[in-house]
Amino acid sequence: MRRFEGYGVLVTGAGRGIGEATARRLAGEGGRVLVTDVDGDRAQKAAAGIRESGGEALALVCDVGDRASVEAAVAHAVREFGTLDVLVNNAYACHPDAALFEDESDEEWQRDLDITLTGAYRCARAALPHLAAAPDRRGAIVGIGSVNGEQDFGNHAYSAAKAGLASLTRTLAGHAAPRGVRVNLIAPGTVRTDAWAGREDLLAAAAAQYPLGRVGLPGDIAAAVAFLASRDAAWITGVTLPVDGGILVSRPRWGSALRGE
């Protein structure tokens, strides 16, 4: 299946984890993908891996916290591909909570919101005119939210930012629909990525709480992105799609498990 043949795609935070898996999936379906990451070496490695697998990918450093960097990335995608049809807002920041809420710092709070929420806003703002110009009303924005934006799983700033993404998805979907651009969000549960390195015990405890019996894999999220970005979802906009192994229906068990109760 090559649902993205001829598409130009930009994925943020694509040097590893969910972003890399998404870039690989969309390239595997024919998309020409710009792999962006604040870490240039990671972006280059991910893009090289896609090319080795037969896909088309370029790499570029992009800091979603900087407007000029974002606008340069969008311009680069349009220049190289001739079109920009899909934006995947995946980049995020998440700092550990302080033991007491009153000890949270302004700097950490602001960092999480600026990268996770405002970064997505910067990317959507820069990309929207090009997505609106995509042929056949195929322009799409897919954001990576979190179950943290739906219920309490900790991480105050990160969770607030992800909840903000859900709201931005709804309002931007209404604004962009007349221009032929769809805007949707995915809310993953726990996903096995490098962010969990060295914490296998917590992943095992988490997996036991999921109705489907495991934590997610980056490919699970990439598959959902591919659906929402494709014409298969041509009549879907403004939604938050949980891809969470059922955790949102079993949330009461989660907190007690991680407390060892």
Q: What percent of the chain has pLDDT over 70?
A: 96
Q: Calculate mean pLDDT across residues 64-85.
A: 98
Beta-carbon contacts of residue 29 (< 8 Å; ≥ 6 apart) = 1, 2, 3, 4, 5, 226, 230
CB 144 within 8 A of CB 186: yes
Radius of gyration for the alpha carbons in the chain, expressed in angstroms and rounded: 18
The pLDDT of residue 213 is 93
Arithmetic mean of pLDDT over the chain = 94
Structural domain that includes position 127: 8-198+221-245
Q: Answer yes or no: is 207 within a domain.
A: no
Beta-carbon contacts of residue 22 (< 8 Å; ≥ 6 apart) = 11, 14, 88, 90, 218, 221, 222, 225, 226
Q: Answer yes or no: is 252 within a domain.
A: no
Backbone angles phi, psi at 183, to 5 degrees: -135, 120
Domain count, the chain: 1
CB 184 within 8 A of CB 239: yes
Q: β-strand 182-188 against 56-61: which pairing, if any? A: unpaired
Backbone angles phi, psi at 12, to 5 degrees: -90, 155
- How do residues 182-227 score in pLDDT, each as one tens digit? 999 999 999 998 888 878 888 888 888 899 999 999 999 999 999 9
Residue 158 catalytic?
A: yes
Residue 124 CB neighbours (<10 A): 21
| Lowest mean per-residue pLDDT among 28-32, 164-168, 174-178, 246-250 | 246-250
pLDDT surpassing 60 at residue 254: no
Query: Domain of 87: which CATH number?
Result: 3.40.50.720
Q: Calculate mean pLDDT across residues 242-251.
A: 90
Q: Answer yes or no: is 189 within a domain.
A: yes
- Of 117, 118, 105, 180, the residue nearest 145 (C-alpha): 117
| One-letter amino acid for residue 121 of the chain | Y
Beta-carbon contacts of residue 123 (< 8 Å; ≥ 6 apart) = 10, 12, 64, 70, 73, 74, 87, 89
Q: How confident is the model at residue 255 (pLDDT cuts 50, 70, 90)?
A: low
- How do residues 82-124 score in pLDDT, each as one tens digit? 999 999 999 999 998 999 999 999 999 999 999 999 999 999 9
Q: Answer yes or no: is 205 within a domain.
A: no
Query: What token pair was written down for 110?
Result: 């602001």
pLDDT surpassing 80 at residue 126: yes
Beta-carbon contacts of residue 138 (< 8 Å; ≥ 6 apart) = 7, 85, 180, 231
Q: Answer yes or no: is 184 within a domain.
A: yes
Q: Answer yes or no: is 208 within a domain.
A: no
Residue 7 catalytic?
A: no
Q: Answer yes or no: is 260 within a domain.
A: no
CB 178 within 8 A of CB 215: no
Q: Answer yes or no: is 110 within a domain.
A: yes
- Of 187, 81, 201, the residue nearest 135 (C-alpha): 81
Residue 103 CB neighbours (<10 A): 8
| Three-point CA angle 35, 83, 9, nearest 5° | 25
> Which of 7, 92, 162, 210 does the annotation list as catalytic?
162
